[in-house]
Structure 1
Amino acid sequence: GSETGLRVEFLAVTEQIHLSLPENKHKTFSSGALMFMTFIGRFRRVMDSSQNAYNEDTSTLLERLDCLEKALFQSGQSGLNGFQSWEKGRASQLTASSLVINYRKRKMADVQA
């Protein structure tokens, strides 16, 4: 269907981009590797942008992002704003992330077992 055609076109364009880079000129990549490299590159750019755009207008940047990238960007901005508030003494209390809390719960369950 059209979805398969889009994937093939995406992979072809991705391959052209990666092969055009001087460091990749004599390398071959699988489709999965190309998709992974593309994901990593986009993830880095979104997170770098979110961390380097403190108190700036980000509307132009956000226009180019898809829904997941916008959510990732906003999560990065939220973390940056929280850190900036804490650094300036405006945060009343630091809290542990849900990942840390869940890890502690699993660790306690393992100790008790």
Structure 2
Amino acid sequence: MAYLVAGAIYTPVASGRMFLYKDLDRATIINAKILALFGIYAVYVALQTVVTVALYILYIARFDYASGTLLPAAGADIASDVASIAGILCAGVVTILVVAALATRFSTGSTKARTTPCTSM
């Protein structure tokens, strides 16, 4: 995720080439790219959720050790699971925002090609 964000934000900023955007402000372009990355992340989370639910219902629920429900019966356990899932999603959003902010200000190094071979061993 971090490499995708750094590559999408840093490369056009460092090269000074933002194709087809002569009428738009640089901040507008970067904000649009960040929103597009959030869209990609949302599609990823949605697909992962659908596949996980389908796998559980179609395959795992048949086993004796499975409870047959996606969430636990106790309210405190449900709250704990929902908080855990929300924390994971928020960590992805924070990662996108932090890497985008750092990629606009600093050379990331992750998008630059190595010019000398690595000979340390």
Please give the range of the TM-score, normalised by the shorter of the 2 chains.
0.3 to 0.5
TM superposition score normalised by structure 1: 0.34
When the two structures are superposed, what TM-score results if normalisation uses the length of structure 2?
A: 0.32
Higher share in helix:
1
Quick one: higher RCO (CA 8 Å, sep 6+), 1 or 2?
A: 2
